[in-house]
Amino acid sequence: MSTCATASRLLAEPLSGTAATARTWLLVEQPGPWGDRALTMSHLDPATGRALEEATAGTDVRIALIRRPGRHADCHRPGTRRIFAAHTAPGRSWIRTAEVTDPALLLDLDFAALGAGDHGGLGEAYEGEPLALVCTNGKRDRCCALLGRPLAAELTAAGGTEVWEVTHIGGHRFAPTLLVLPYGYSYGRATAPAVKEALEAAREGRIVTAGCRGRSAWARPAQAAELAVRALTGEEGADALDVSGTDTSGNPGAAPRWTVTVTHTDGRSWRVVVEQGAATPARPESCGRAPVSPGRMDVVHIAPAG
């Protein structure tokens, strides 16, 4: 086992409530190498990448680059690029796909509407397998390449899945990391058998919670709260649970605390109290970085609402 994998497992930091947040993901195919800041450090035109970063800021849209697993042609000007837009809100999840000749055309999109779940007729509905997006951005964190690329290759060789490599999706220390669309659940310390199980569940509209970091549609306290309700109830339905509110009042002068209301489509609801703690002992948040104590989301109380 590599040094990265050994450190990650020995530290055994809880995964819940650590997923990147985005209501909508915009994924742009870009073969070739990726730098630390991939949108402006790849063979995507840097001005276009910078403009896309600025245009999506504050819109609940997160943009990332993708490429097929395997050897990456060092192609400065591919003829066409595949794009995916995926909205992850419960009960309103969708994926749209299109091909573009110039990523600058994406600047014409209404990103505020896209973040709110209105695709505006972008491309066509994607009806294929759930998307398995494995982070392999080695310039951002070498563990993502060392552990992510073999996982992406193994999943691709097994067939029956739609696998892409993706740029940074957060949580380097949990490498290999994975995002599954359309539901937007992230996974850490992923193995090929566990990913195959998660993808099979996603095909059936279910969620596997083992190794799950949370659903990107919500902020991190809500991610932890929703997973806690799933653990309590055994609920697997991808769209069975939603977050109806998060109260940040109370607990002055102490650790940050949130009261999250999680609702079920059958009418049940729960109030989940989440506190921010510090992961100990200190550990690198990224391979090669100095050890720190990253924040963690601890569920300290859960009870039926009403």
What pLDDT was estimated at residue 1? 43
Sequence-distant (≥ 6) Cβ neighbours of residue 289 within 8 angstroms = none
CA distance 191 to 90: 26
Average pLDDT over residues 175-200: 96
More confident residue, 107 or 6: 107
Reported as a pLDDT band with limits 50, 70 and 90, residue 254 is low
Q: What is the pLDDT of residues 84-133, one digit of tens each?
A: 999 999 999 999 999 999 999 999 999 999 999 999 999 999 999 999 99
Helix extents (H) in 33-141: 46-56, 111-116
Look up residue 226 and give its two tokens.
């929703």
What pLDDT was estimated at residue 141? 77
Q: What is the pLDDT of residues 132-180, one digit of tens each?
A: 999 998 777 788 888 999 999 999 999 888 999 999 888 888 999 999 9
**The amino acid at 183:** Y
pTM, to two decimals: 0.90
CA distance 299 to 230: 13
Chain-wide mean pLDDT for the chain? 89
Is residue 199 within 8 A of residue 128, CB to CB? The reply is no
Closest CA to 177 of 139, 146, 136, 217: 136
Query: What angle in degrees, to the nearest 10, is found between the helix axes of 3-11 and 142-158?
Result: 100
- The length of the chain in residues reads 306
> Looking at residue 232, what DSSP letter applies?
H
> What DSSP assignment string belongs to 48-66?
HHHHHHHHHTTTTEEEEEE
Closest CA to 24 of 64, 66, 60: 60
pLDDT at 42 over 50: yes
More confident residue, 289 or 267: 267
pLDDT at 282 over 90: no
Query: What angle in degrees, to the nearest 10, is found between the helix axes of 142-158 and 192-203?
Result: 60
pLDDT at 294 over 80: no
What pLDDT was estimated at residue 77? 62
